[in-house]
Amino acid sequence: MIKLKKSDYDIIVEHAKKEAPIEACGLIAGEISGEDRIIKKVYILTNTDHAEEHFTLDPKEQLAAVKDMRAEGLIPLGNWHSHPVSPSRPSDEDKRLAFDSSASYLILSLMDDEPVLNSFHIEGDTAYKEELVIEQ
């Protein structure tokens, strides 16, 4: 199970809406407790591609985020990105570029009036939806 605070969910949604129609992206960090992956911090990074259908995390920002995670005693849990006009599911490119099978991949769809956020575990061509709980 992935646990995300409502305030962090709001940060992701707000940034994704601001960046639309390009994909927004970032990292997630936190802790693992038994089967639970608890997100403690969301990082907003620049999509250096400035593209509507794919993203590349800014390497300098990514390094700074990882340094911050270490300083805060957090572990990297994965990343997040938005799909401004498509569903909250991994595209073929998302699957192809999911190099870390231990990571969680959060995808936020903005295609409908209400945003939809899902989390996935990706291994090769297969994506498994993870249980995601947004907590107050």
How confident is the model at residue 74, as a pLDDT?
98
Task: Give dist(CA 58, CA 72) in Å, integer.
Answer: 21
Q: Model-level pTM?
A: 0.96
pLDDT at residue 19, as a whole number: 97
pLDDT band at 75 (very low <50, low <70, confident <90, very high): very high
Contact 62, 32 (CB under 8 A): no
Q: Rounded mean pLDDT of 81-107?
A: 95
Q: Residue 36: its pLDDT value, please?
A: 96
Calculate the average pLDDT of the chain: 96
Burial of 100: CB neighbours in 10 Å, binned 0-12, 13-18, 19+:
exposed
Instruction: Return the closest-CA partner of residue 45 out of 27, 63, 30.
Output: 27
Return the pLDDT at 88.
97
